[in-house]
Amino acid sequence: SPLETTKRKVAHSDQHGFSVFPDQVRVPNVIVMVGLPARGKTYISKKLCRYLKWTGFKTKVFNVGEYRRTDANAADAIHGANASFFSPDNADALKVRTEAAGRAMEDMADYLNSGAGAVAIFDATNTTKFRRKTIIEFCKNNTLRCFFIESVCDDPAIIDSNVTDVKVNSPDYKGLMSAEQAKEDFMNRIENYKKQYEPIEESEDEKLSFIKVINAGRSFKVHQVQGHVQSRVVYFLMNIHLLPRSIFLTRHGESEYNAMGRLGGDSPLTEDGRKYAVALGEFFEEESVQNLRVWCSQKVRAAQTAQYLRPEMHAEYWKALDELDAGICEGLTYEDIQQRYPKQADDRAADKYHYRYPSGESYEDVVSRLEPVIMELERQANVLVVSHQAVLRCILAYFYDRPLSELPFIDIPLHSLVKLTPRAYHCDSTIYKLDLETGEWDETSAQLP
């Protein structure tokens, strides 16, 4: 059961509250969501999970609603999974919901105690002190750090967009009733929870660590943040926003080194590369994106690709957007590397994400230097990024929620423009591929992941 003690070596705190690790063992973290339905708990859980995984923390969301829905004997209760299922005096429904939470916590304990995970996100309402007390006990018994994220929201517009975007199509209602009925039923479900709702108070536990997010990040209350992961979580939550916008990503046009099959360098565009730059300028004349910002790497081929965009787009040049540094292999072709450094070629093929070129970088290094770029992209509205293949693979892996091992294999052809539009739980993505002969853009769309 989740209440049994853990086998892991444990940390303890010194008199100042700083962790003292016997052998540098990191204490796994449990992030616990709190809030009424339709307050963005799943939105935060998924987005936070994606960010933490991308920065290298093995993270998983445990959504109690999904456990409830898969629970066999809850099947019949589901068909009434309308508001009455969630009424506090529906005893057997309450039992099902409690069992689902218990199974989710057992799985969380396994995930963290086995060392498979570093962070678990417990996505449920957790709206009573009693429920939170159970979780705090569970964390104590498993020597896990516990951080509560409470989303408090009384802005009807935000709640309405949530119910419309994600509740109406939820599995609880699929095919059972019309959208209007589902919406009305969901509002009743919220009323049921309100009867029992006890907002977090620091008095409920002397070591309580939490952040209250108010009205989708308009304001925050942060209390007793402990450790690296919790401070990264607070920082992330203070930088995201819900406003709709698009992020455009493109590699530079074809360069002289591309034409010769040579890696890296700082060569100018070829004639074809210049054609792409001209077409890119025309694309944004026609698309006329509101207040578009342009972020370029500091390589000549990237700056030349952006040269036909309007000056008022405030092109900024980020070194962090430069191509992966191939070190001793800069300027070589893959054949050169195979002949001169066969062992390097084998090592790279064995683990393309962690492989670092001698005197150069690995994909893992590029992800680290892109973290500030990702954080600034989260803060901004419409942005066009003009960069390089390895860099765009890292950025796309973040928005597509791809595993880091697959990151180095994401396909990004030359002369193609990716338009990302982040949605609640996924990204809409359109790829415009330029046909150099006709000057036409071929468009293909997808929902990712």
Ligand X SMILES: O=c1[nH]cnc2c1c(-c1ccc(Br)cc1)cn2-c1ccccc1
Q: Rule CB under 6 A: say whether 360 interacts with ligand X.
A: no
426 catalytically annotated:
no
Q: Rule CB under 6 A: say whether 428 interacts with ligand X.
A: no
H-helix or E-strand spanning residue 271: helix 271-287
Q: Which of 25, 158, 177, 225 binds ligand X (CB under 6 A)?
A: 158
Q: Which of 30, 240, 277, 303 binds ligand X (CB under 6 A)?
A: 240
Q: Which of 40, 65, 253, 264 binds ligand X (CB under 6 A)?
A: 40
| Contact call for residues 182 and 243 (beta carbons, < 8 A) | no
Q: With respect to ligand X, which residue has the nearer C-beta, 151 or 258?
A: 151
Q: Which stretch binds ligand X (CB under 6 A): 8-16, 32-40, 92-100, 271-279?
A: 32-40
Q: What does the buried/exposed string (b/e) look like for 360-369 if buried means 16 or more CB atoms within 10 Å of the residue's CB? A: bbbbbebbeb
Q: Nearest CA to 347 among 337, 336, 339, 355?
A: 355
Cβ neighbours for 228, distance < 8 A, ≥ 6 positions apart: none
252 catalytically annotated:
yes
Amino acid 329 reads: C
Q: At what angle do helices 227-237 and 41-54 cross, to 10 degrees?
A: 120
Q: With respect to ligand X, which residue has the nearer C-beta, 213 or 277?
A: 213
Other Cβ atoms less than 10 A from the Cβ of 171: the count is: 12
Q: With respect to ligand X, which residue has the nearer C-beta, 99 or 165?
A: 165
296 catalytically annotated:
no
Q: Which of 159, 247, 280, 420 binds ligand X (CB under 6 A)?
A: 159
Q: Which two tokens stand for residue 354?
A: 């962690």
Instruction: Return d(Cα 100, Cα 92) in angstroms, integer.
Output: 12
Q: Rule CB under 6 A: say whether 218 interacts with ligand X.
A: no
Q: With respect to ligand X, which residue has the nearer C-beta, 74 or 153?
A: 153
Q: Catalytic: which of 49, 146, 153, 329?
A: 153
Q: Rule CB under 6 A: say whether 295 interacts with ligand X.
A: no
Q: Which stretch binds ligand X (CB under 6 A): 7-15, 63-71, 158-166, 324-332?
A: 158-166
Task: Look at the block and give the residue holding tokens 């016997």.
Answer: 22
Instruction: Return d(Cα 222, Cα 214) in angstroms, integer.
Output: 11
Q: Rule CB under 6 A: say whether 33 interacts with ligand X.
A: no
Q: Rule CB under 6 A: say whether 27 interacts with ligand X.
A: no
Instruction: Return d(Cα 77, Cα 92) in angstroms, integer.
Output: 9
**Residues, the chain:** 449
336 catalytically annotated:
no
Q: Which positions are annotated as active-site residues? A: 123, 153, 252, 323
Binding site for ligand X (CB under 6 A): 38-40, 43-44, 151, 153, 158-159, 161-162, 165-166, 213, 216-217, 237, 240, 242, 424
